[in-house]
């Protein structure tokens, strides 16, 4: 799939700038917005590497026909993280202040939600590895913003799970992941469920860190994702 459908853009604010790719939804009717967060290996300044995994799926003709949507895929600058925490640690504390790239991303999302062809009640966040951490972080930081979250081989602060009680989550991880411990997903899902939340979890036996490959092709993922909507209009 050609990357040409993803338009290169840059968001500017007083605090800095954030490069991103934008896949506009077909047509003019309000459509969902998917926010996709890449992993550590795709950081950079080329505004291209973040398209390496998973996100191209939304540009496939069959997917665009069945699940039309807007996609925003920002690129985290070198040396920074979506969540400024050690992703190899067994746990971490939720940062009170978002990382610089996430703060810019939140401002970008707010700008996108002003567009008449964006469905404010169907904003989804998805990410892998470092982006999986970013997905948990964004979902806990502003759960009222999203209609669903898909963290892949990431982790979060279990003490924040209560914030996700009203947010549908589907997490993925591989049992043989040597980069991000599988317990990071297991523990977050268990904490969300214990708090009374709706958290699905798919674990791939024998799969290493690239659990995003089978997750992105999970037959039920996109139908589940695009069926989610916030119950209260903004």
**Nearest residue to 108 (alpha-carbon basis) of 16, 224, 220, 204:** 16
Contact criterion met (CB below 8 Å) for 158 and 91: yes
Does any domain span residue 233?
Answer: no
Tokens representing 21?
Answer: 């790719």
Question: Which 3 state secondary structure label does DSSP give 127?
Answer: strand
List Cβ neighbours of 140 (8 Å cut-off, separation of 6 or more).
94, 156, 157, 160, 161, 163, 164
Give the pLDDT confidence score for residue 42 in this predicted structure: 98
Does any domain span residue 85?
Answer: yes
Measured distance CA(75)–CA(19) in Å, rounded? 6
We report the CATH number of the domain holding residue 64 as 3.40.50.1820
Give the pLDDT confidence score for residue 127 in this predicted structure: 98
Does any domain span residue 234?
Answer: no
List Cβ neighbours of 123 (8 Å cut-off, separation of 6 or more).
32, 33, 35, 109, 113, 145, 146, 147
Give the pLDDT confidence score for residue 234 in this predicted structure: 42
Tokens representing 26?
Answer: 């077909």
Does any domain span residue 82?
Answer: yes
Contact criterion met (CB below 8 Å) for 53 and 140: no
H/E stretch holding 100: helix 100-112
Domain that holds residue 153: 3-227
| pLDDT beneath 50, residues of the chain | 1, 233-234
How many independent structural domains does the chain possess? Answer: 1
Give the pLDDT confidence score for residue 1 in this predicted structure: 46
Give per-residue pLDDT as tens, 206-223.
Answer: 999 999 999 999 999 999
Give the pLDDT confidence score for residue 232 in this predicted structure: 59
Measured distance CA(113)–CA(119) in Å, rounded? 8
Measured distance CA(31)–CA(6) in Å, rounded? 16
Does any domain span residue 232?
Answer: no
Q: Which residue has the tokens 């459509």?
A: 31
């Amino acid at each position: 799939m050609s990357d040409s459908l993803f338009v290169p853009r840059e968001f500017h604010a007083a605090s800095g700038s954030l490069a991103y790719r934008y896949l506009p939804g077909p047509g003019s009717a309000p459509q969902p917005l998917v926010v996709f967060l890449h992993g550590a290996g795709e950081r950079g300044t080329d505004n291209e590497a973040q398209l390496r995994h998973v996100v191209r799926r939304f540009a496939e003709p069959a997917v665009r026909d069945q699940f039309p949507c807007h996609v925003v895929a920002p690129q985290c600058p070198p040396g920074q993280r979506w969540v400024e925490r050690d992703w190899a640690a067994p746990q971490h504390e939720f940062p009170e202040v978002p990382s610089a790239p996430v703060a810019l991303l939140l401002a970008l999302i707010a700008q996108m939600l002003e567009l008449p062809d964006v469905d404010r009640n169907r904003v989804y966040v998805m990410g892998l590895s470092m982006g999986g951490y970013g997905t948990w972080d964004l979902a806990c930081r502003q759960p009222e913003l999203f209609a669903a979250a898909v963290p892949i081989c990431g982790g979060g602060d279990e003490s924040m799970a209560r914030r996700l009680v009203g947010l549908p989550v589907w997490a993925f991880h591989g049992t043989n992941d040597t980069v991000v411990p599988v317990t990071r997903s297991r523990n977050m899902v268990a904490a969300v469920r214990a708090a009374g939340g709706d958290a699905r979890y798919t674990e791939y036996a024998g799969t290493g860190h690239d659990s995003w490959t089978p997750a992105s092709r999970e037959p039920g993922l996109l139908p589940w994702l695009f069926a989610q909507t916030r119950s209260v209009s903004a």
